[in-house]
Structure 1
């Protein structure tokens, strides 16, 4: 796919930066509505509250018993003493 190498390199660089910074992923928002999920992520970017490196967007695929769930998590660096 066009642009895949560039995207992969960008993701690897972000992953290395996070690996150097101790911290944890904290769930920020969870929903089963994809439109609501997209709107929330868009608002976060527009407000400038977070950068793309600080967000993790998860999609938990559903089945008949469990519907698809979308979750936004934010990276919280460990506080230094």
Structure 2
């Protein structure tokens, strides 16, 4: 499709200028995750919820569940 590469490149450049996600905490222990999450939200000024990303990676028999908290860092 004509112009698709150019549109894709421009979209990627806009996204790069906006900022990036920085991992703050990463664990596979649910109790540790809950304790950190509680301290993070109550210990200081809680960041804007739109600037927080929580990833929970589903575990299976061979791999445990993973928990990750990231903050958006504006460029």
TM-score, normalising length from structure 1?
0.63
Instruction: Select the structure of larger CA radius of gyration.
Output: 2
Gap regions ≥5 residues in structure 2: 1-14
1:26-50 deviation line (CA, Å, top 9, x unaligned): 1110111112112212212111152
* Residue of structure 2 equivalent to 1:56: 53
Gap regions ≥5 residues in structure 1: 1-18
TM-score, normalising length from structure 2?
0.67
Alignment: residue pair count = 59
- Structure possessing the higher relative contact order (Cα contacts under 8 Å, 6 or more residues apart): 2
Structure 1 stretches of at least 4 aligned residues deviating more than 2 Å after TM superposition: none
Q: How does 1:9-20 map to 2 (within 5 A)?
A: none
